[in-house]
Amino acid sequence: MRFMQSTCERRRNDGWGRTTLRTATALLLLAPSALYAQHEGHDMSAMTEKPMVRFGAGVPMNRFASGTSWIPDAVSLPSQSWKSGDWHLMAHGYGFLQFDHQSGPRGAVQLGSLNWGMLMASRPLGSGALQLRTMLSVDAATVGGTGYPLLLQTGETYNGVAIHDRQHPHDAFMEVAALYDHPITRDMALELYVAPSGEPALGPPAFMHRPSSVDDLAAPLGHHWQDASHVSFGVATAGLVWNRLKIEASAFNGREPDQNRWNFDFAPLQSYSARVTANPTANWSLTAGFGFIKSPETSDAGHSMHRALTAVQYGRTLSADRQFAASVIWGGMSHSDHDGVLHSLLAEAEVADEERGSVFARAEFVQKTSDDLVLPKSTPEGTFDLGSVSIGGVRTLSRTARTNLGLGARFSVNLVGGALESTYGGKVTGGVMVFLRLRPRRSAPMMDAH
């Protein structure tokens, strides 16, 4: 397939690959995941006849999201699982084939594919449990080096130029990691996570791993304020778990990935973070984290940043095939070369129906600088308050025992200040994405807990 751009797009985009729905489908079937739908008070392994590895301190396996982050116990992510000897294997992932149209002078049109897949293998080891993970993507081939059009989005560079009004592609090796859980007492466990590519203990689960946004293919505009460190090339994390509470700390490589998306960008582990997460009931997950990120940008290696985050996630099962999830996330970021804190605030929710489809919505406020947005020199320098509202949904087209295929659309409206009106063609901009989505069918019924 050829990728199309509107003539109003001003950047050159090299190296765009060809894509087919078969590419996304193959990735989805080969890639896998970590989240098995077990629920407190119900033995899901007995229901599916697939006994699973348990973690210390009574932590259910479906609580894990990206890295070592947690989601509410009462909801799950779509996955498939099976046994192979002592190993319990899980597959998780999404493939999208999308048409993306973003309006205005900085908009663009593109036909492409967003995709990722995850494989997780767990087994008992000694008195604890070992979990091996890999998460893969071919975004770089299917949406190109600068990624897909998304107005007001910023972050990372391509050919020495900061990417703006586009979401960069993810790296091929999004996660390659090992997690070991060792019980100390009946109610306490030590958790160790080591990853050549992985996620430090800093923010909430990455957007593609949150039940409140899993069917929304677009990254939040505050992605680099909240959860962009989910691909870090070098992470070591240690944590203590008391069933519903976890305290953890990480040392990691804070440098952003370069434009070569097919390799590992190793660097010293000179960044650090700490996070506290609590799941007080099956329906809630609360987290707060802080981190120092040394020289995140290769093009501006002399500057570092601090990032602070808080997040509240809520989840509830509505019926055997339906669940509701919502998240509110605040992220604050301060640069060594910028006075004050840049804030971001996100609220999102999704109702997922395995048989009929899903509906989702997101509202955001984020502060970005003229350098972030790569504004013309004629635009006054400073910090700009940006807002965005998006809604969308997916209609299930077909289901098999292991897959779910749907047709969806996403509509967004963005609000910019008067100083940006000439750059973006008005105070209100927007975009639409129409897509086919393929993902695993949930391997076990969802159930609520109170």
Name the percent of the chain lying above pLDDT 70. 84
Whether 7 is covered by a domain: the verdict is no
Give the lowest-confidence range in 55-64, 317-326, 418-427, 434-443: 55-64
**Local confidence band at 15 (pLDDT 50, 70, 90 cut-offs):** very low
Whether 14 is covered by a domain: the verdict is no
Q: What residues contact 26, with CB distance under 8 A and at least 6 apart? A: none
pLDDT computed for residue 443 by the predictor: 61
pLDDT, tens only, 47-71: 333 444 557 777 887 899 999 999 9
Whether 145 is covered by a domain: the verdict is yes
Of 263, 239, 331, 238, the C-alpha closest to 293 is 331
**Local confidence band at 20 (pLDDT 50, 70, 90 cut-offs):** very low
Q: Does residue 282 contact residue 71 with C-beta atoms inside 8 Å?
A: no
The structure tokens listed for 341 are 């804190």
Q: Does residue 219 contact residue 48 with C-beta atoms inside 8 Å?
A: no
Mean per-residue pLDDT over the chain, rounded: 86
Residue 97, strand partner residues:
113, 436
pLDDT, tens only, 247-305: 999 999 999 999 999 999 999 999 999 999 999 999 999 999 999 999 887 666 678 99
Given the structure tokens 């309006």, which residue do they identify?
A: 103
pLDDT computed for residue 278 by the predictor: 98
pLDDT computed for residue 332 by the predictor: 96
pLDDT, tens only, 168-210: 999 999 999 999 999 999 899 999 999 999 999 999 999 999 9
**Local confidence band at 38 (pLDDT 50, 70, 90 cut-offs):** very low
Helices (H), 209-352: 223-226
Name the DSSP class of 294. -
Name the DSSP class of 441. P
pLDDT, tens only, 108-118: 999 999 999 99
pLDDT, tens only, 119-145: 999 999 988 999 999 999 999 999 999
pLDDT exceeds cutoff 70 at 372: yes
pLDDT computed for residue 60 by the predictor: 81
Whether 6 is covered by a domain: the verdict is no
pLDDT, tens only, 223-233: 999 998 899 99
pLDDT computed for residue 135 by the predictor: 96
Q: Does residue 156 contact residue 256 with C-beta atoms inside 8 Å?
A: yes
pLDDT computed for residue 300 by the predictor: 65
The total domain count for the chain is 1
Q: What average pLDDT does range 377-403 have in this prediction? A: 94
Q: How far out from the chain centre does Cα 281 lie?
A: 24
Residue 368, strand partner residues:
384
pLDDT computed for residue 338 by the predictor: 66
For residue 331, give the CATH number of its domain.
2.40.160.10
Whether 364 is covered by a domain: the verdict is yes
pLDDT computed for residue 13 by the predictor: 39
Neighbours of 151 (CB within 10 A): 23
Range of the domain at 311: 21-440
pLDDT computed for residue 61 by the predictor: 78
Whether 9 is covered by a domain: the verdict is no
Whether 16 is covered by a domain: the verdict is no
Q: What residues contact 355, with CB distance under 8 A and at least 6 apart? A: 321, 396, 399
Whether 169 is covered by a domain: the verdict is yes
pLDDT computed for residue 299 by the predictor: 64
